[in-house]
Amino acid sequence: MPWTDETAAAVALPHRNAWASLTRGFTGRCPHCGQGKLFGAFLKVTDRCEACDEDFSHQRADDFPAYLVILIVGHILVPIALFVETEFSPSYPVQLAVWLPLALVLSLALLQPVKGAIVGLQWALRMHGFGVLPDADAMPGQEH
């Protein structure tokens, strides 16, 4: 990778706590300040934080939240379904009536938090244009 002025600027930027940003995003809060809302609708990330004016237009979660949700829900439900099948062998209609709604509800419940966590992580790692400039609150004497 060529060493450019942008690389040098990125290296000199202050550290962002990835875990804190990830958990703030998971709870639907701004990964920067933890106060403003991250989502304007179910899966629509707001343009800017209402509290600290952080620009969220750099987020590129794309299909990754859906991929992760499938991975997580599969790892939760498949072992349980296998256990129930080997121990109790319920009829197929009963299994369909349990596992399909459960998979749907779990997926819908996890989609927004997982997307928020990914956007928070992208912010903390300064991906896709997040934080090319130093954080305003990290620079003494400079306002937002």
- Chain residues binding Zn ion by CB under 5 A are 30, 32-33, 36, 49, 51-52, 54
Q: Between residues 48 and 60, which has the closer beta carbon with respect to Zn ion? A: 48
The full DSSP string for 85-123 is: HHHH---HHHHHHHHHHHHHHHHHHHHHHHHHHHHHHHH
Classify residue 127 by its DSSP letter: G
Smallest distance from the beta carbon of 69 to Zn ion, in angstroms? 25
**Cβ 12 to Zn ion shortest distance, Å:** 23
Q: Tell me how far apart the 2 most distant CA atoms of the chain are, in Å.
A: 69
Q: Closer to Zn ion by CB, 25 or 69: give it.
A: 25
Using the minimum distance from each CB to Zn ion, give the nearer residue, 13 or 51. 51
Look up residue 47 and give its two tokens.
């343009």
* Helix or strand run (H / E) with residue 9: helix 5-12
Unique residue bearing structure tokens 């903390």: 124
Nearest distance in Å: CB 38, Zn ion: 9
Minimum Å gap between C-beta 43 and Zn ion is: 19
> Based on CB atoms, which residue is closest to Zn ion, 18 or 52?
52
